[in-house]
Each structure stands twice: as structure tokens, then as C-alpha cells.
Chains A and B, each alone.
Chain A
């Protein structure tokens, strides 16, 4: 536009350039805001790095000086407050976290996928809206309330129904964690189903397929990656849950033989013991080392989920 008419004099062209390349007050404000906005955008990355750096900084002393991989990961003896010979084996804690998360996912995955399919594909109009709101509200219940429910409602029920001495066990925490993770997984799965274009459904219905055939043959295969990503995010949430697990597992260091055994989770151990440690002491550093482990595992799970979900967008 500037050089649209080469026969005109250079002065005219120069003035037009100035009209567009202005350096007035608004221009500087615009540039300043752009910088501020960029810094805020980058802050998310800074915070994640910050979490890794600061948690590592507090735990690194133990990792460098005392960490014996075999003893740390493969022995189930956890007695950090033993003054003479403290032992830091997290195998039992890993078993606790794994058993509770595993049971929770066994409960939550089929039910939340079923619920997501019902809400996205079968329910209609007002029912769908009401169910979506309800699921969203259930997802908002704080974890400490779930722990309280495990402690005062599930505990006596399990003792009564299964005739066991203690109701704070893998079963209790697994159900609580399952109920807790299910609404989150339901809404992510429902989003994944909704992301499948309607014309896929219409094409299949035009061929005479029933709703279930459309869902099973068309929608589910198309939403496969999104659903898998949602399940993974749910696993990450369950794995990292703290308060509910602290209150409902019974908090006993133990490799469980049955679902009625009390266990103790990695997250709950940090929450329960950090308050009684000396800043910079060995026990304190070990708890931060567990924190690093938790961070790395959830980071990997989230990254994998992201890669899987992105897979569909590219393909």
C-alpha cells in the first residue's frame, strides 16, 4: 500500500509509512502490556520448574549422601523416628498407594466411562444438563470432607457389613478415592465424546444404526485417545490424593494381603510426618525425596496423557 503508486514523490510515501509505523503513547502501552502478558504466560512454566527446584533443593542432601536405591525402594521397613537406627524403606508405602489407587480405578473407570456415555450419547435435554451440573458439583467436594466420610461413615459400615475389626483399610480408601475420582473422569470422558463431530453420528444413523451401534462402532473408536487421556489424568489424581487417603486407610505401614488390611500411602506419610521433623534433618530430607518421586511420577503421567490426547488432533 505504501508503494502503491511509484510515480508519486518520495515524500508522500514517507508520510504514509509514518501513519502506520507510529510510536505514540498507545504504541508504547501496547508493547508494555505485551511484555507483561508474556511474563504471566511464562509464569506457569516458571512455577512448575520452581516446584521441582525447591522440592529437590530440600531433599537433595539425602539423595547424595545416604540414598541406597535397593534399600529405599525395595525394603518395607519404615521407622524414621527410631533414634539409633532409622530405616527408610518405602516399598510398603508404594504398595499402599498402589493398592488403594488400583482399587479406586477398578471402581471408577467403568462407572465413569458408563456415565459419560450415558450423559453424552443417551440422555437428552434437561436430563443431560441436570446430570452434568450434578457431576460438576460432586467433583467439587473437598478431599478432607471425603476423608471425613471415610472415617465416620464408611468405617462403621465396613465393620458391620464384613464383620472385620477395623474398617479403615484398602477397601474403604479405594471406594472413597473411586467416588472422588469418578466425577472428574466422567467430565473429561464426556468432553472427549462431545469432541467427536456430530456428522459422524448422523452418517451412521442414516445407515440405520441404533444409538448403541453408533456409540460402539463410531463414537468410541473416534474418542479412544481422549478417553484414555482422561483415564490417565484420573489415575494421576488418585495417586496424588492426600487428605482422603490419610484419613481412610488406617495409616499403618503394611504390605496388604487383603482389601481389609490397613495400609499407608506415600502422600499421607508426608502429610502426617512433616510436622514433627527438624528442618534440614535426615527424616525431613527423606520426606522431600518422596515428594520428588511423586512429582516425577505425576509429571510423567500428565505428559503421557497430553501426548495421547494430542495424538487425535494431529491424526
Chain B
């Protein structure tokens, strides 16, 4: 900008001072961004250095031994897979339908606003309050006991906003003209949604689902009192069983097991972060690929 101007106009002292101020602020905000990101990268690097050595196929696929002081993470890993799968089976259908309602049916009125506020609150209520809700509602009132089902229901309620928001965005990205063309052919609202709107937004919805997997896998507080236990020698056989979970396992290994080998909690943390970040990166990559492919 300035170089182009310099040819046409003579830069005054004021111009030059403004330009200096602008460079100063650019530097300041750039540094702030760096200071936000650099420490975290440094910390993650430390985790990799300290925990990398313990990671092996054996660590992933054997059970903890010697009172959790050594051995692997298999039951916790499998427990997390169970919890996430059941939670998704419950929250994805409801979340997608809720997003369809908000995007395709709801009018711009107080009722829609109330639903939006409720979604913000589901995401914003502290995770420990979700835990209390899960305990009071699913474990005690509905009588599921501390089980995968109760824990997954709690997780589903908590992470549903992720699916709703992502789905609503990708539904709204489908141009209105697509719907109108379909209605003009005499199709019903649902036929239009199923044959035109959903096929054009399914990849965007998948992005949201992957994102939810990563959110659900990392949660600890909501499952502490609803279905996840510190230690169990059994692998879960049904949704009514209790289970170990990777996130809670990290908490337990870091705070409750005296004499544990130093690198084991680091290893657990690394497995958990890798799981979450891989899922997240996949979701982001998917979204970018989608954006490049979009024809309208």
C-alpha cells in the first residue's frame, strides 16, 4: 500500500508516523499471538519427550499390572471407545434433527431464541454440574446405576451442542434456491431435505461428528460418578457395565497411585492428546477439503 502511494504522493511526516505506529501495533499483536501459542507447543513438546519412550504396541494393548504401577492402558482405551460410541449413537440423531428443525423449520421468534439459548447453556454449564445431573437423573432416577449407559447419556447431553452447531451451519450453507427448485417440483418439505439439503451438507455434518468424538473422548468430570471407575479388571461386556476411561485413568495415575513409574502418566496423557488432536485435525482437514470442492 505504502509503496504504491509513494510513487503517486509524497508521504508527509504524519503519514510516516502513522505507518510507524501501525508497524508497532502489528508487532505487538503478533508477539501476543506467539506468546499464546508458543508455551503450549513447548508444553506439548515436553509431554512428547517424557512420554514418548513408554508408547509402544504393548503399552496400548495390555492391561495395567502391579496395582496400576506398570503395564498398559488397554481397558481404559476400550472403555473410552465404548463411552464415545454409545454417546454418539444417542446424541448424533437428536442433534442432527434438532439442527434440521432450527435451520429448515423454525421461524425467527422468541421460541427459536429460547432453543438457541438452551444450546449455549448446554455447552456452557460446568462439566461437574453435568456430572451431578447425570448422577441424579440417569444413575438414580432412571435406575441405570453407574454404567456405560448412564455415563454416555450424560456425555451425549453435554456434547450435543457441538453436533447441532456444526450441522446447522452446513445446512444453512446450502443455497435457498436449491430448496425452492425442489419445492416447485411438488416435493414435500421432508423430501426436499432428504433428497437435496442433506446430500449437499452430509460432509459438513460428518465434520461436526468427528469434532464431537474428540470432545467426548477428553471429558472427565461428567463420567466420574456416572459410569467410569478408577480400576476394574474386567473389560465391559454391555452398556450396563462399569468401565475404565482414558481421561479418568490419567487423573487416577497422576494423583491416586503412589509409586507409579514417572513415565506412565506421561504416556497416558500422550495417548489421550494424540487421540483428541488426531480426530480434530481430521475434522479440520475434512472441512478444508470440502471448502475447496464447493461448487457454489
A interface residues with partner B (beta carbon < 8 Å): 26-27, 29-30, 33-34, 36-38, 40-45, 47-48, 50-51, 54-55, 57-58, 110-112, 114-115, 117-119, 122-123, 131, 133-138, 140-145, 147-149, 151-153, 179, 182-183, 186, 208, 210-213, 215, 233, 236-237, 239-243, 247, 267, 270-271, 274-275, 279, 287-288, 291, 294-295, 298-299, 301-303, 305-306
Contacts and interface: CB of A to CB of B under 8 A. Distances in A.
A243 B98 contact: no
10 contacts: A30-B190, A44-B164, A50-B137, A51-B133, A115-B36, A148-B254, A236-B124, A241-B127, A243-B220, A294-B125
A298 B190 CA distance: 37
Nearest to A39: B97
Nearest to B139: A279
A103 to B, nearest CB: 16
B98 to A, nearest CB: 4
B84 interface: no
B125 A42 contact: no
Given A275-B224, A294-B129, A213 B277 contact: no
Interface in B259-274: 265-266, 269, 272-273
B88 to A, nearest CB: 15
Contacts of A247: 251, 254-255
Contact of B115 (A29, A44, A233): A44
Contacts of B181: none
Contact of A40 (B21, B97, B114, B129): B97
A291 B217 CA distance: 23
A55 B218 contact: no
B221 A243 contact: yes
Given A40-B94, A275-B224, A302-B121, A149 B43 contact: yes
Contacts of B129: 51, 55, 240, 291, 294-295, 298
Contact of B132 (A42, A119, A270, A299): A270
A50 B138 CA distance: 11
Chain B interface: which size bin?
35 or more
Given A122-B29, A136-B284, A144 B250 contact: yes
Interface string B83-101: 0000000000111011011
A42 B115 contact: yes
A78 B12 CA distance: 67
Contacts of A140: 214-215, 218, 276-277, 280
B269 A267 contact: no
The 10 A-B pairs of least Cβ separation, nearest first, read A240-B126, A142-B218, A41-B101, A114-B32, A40-B97, A118-B29, A54-B136, A30-B188, A210-B22, A44-B118
Interface of B: 15, 18-19, 21-22, 25-26, 28-30, 32-33, 35-37, 39-40, 43, 46-47, 93-95, 97-98, 100-102, 104-106, 114-122, 124-133, 135-137, 140-141, 157, 160-161, 164, 188-191, 193, 214-215, 217-221, 224-225, 247-248, 250-251, 254-255, 265-266, 269, 272-273, 276-277, 280-281, 284
Given A140-B276, A237-B124, A294-B129, A133 B284 contact: yes
A47 B122 contact: yes
Nearest to B137: A54
Given A30-B188, A48-B122, A118 B218 contact: no
Contacts of A30: 188-191
Given A37-B100, A41-B101, A138-B37, 12 more contacts: A41-B115, A43-B98, A58-B135, A111-B36, A131-B33, A145-B250, A145-B269, A148-B254, A148-B265, A242-B128, A243-B251, A267-B128
Contact of B101 (A38, A210, A213): A38
Contacts of B126: 239-242, 267, 294-295, 298
B130 A51 contact: yes
Contacts of B188: 26-27, 29-30
- Indicate the member of A143, A240, A243, A279 with the most B CB atoms within 10 Å: A243
B121 A298 contact: yes
Contacts of A44: 98, 115, 118-119, 122, 160-161, 164
B276 A141 contact: yes
B281 to A, nearest CB: 7
B225 A274 contact: yes
B17 to A, nearest CB: 10
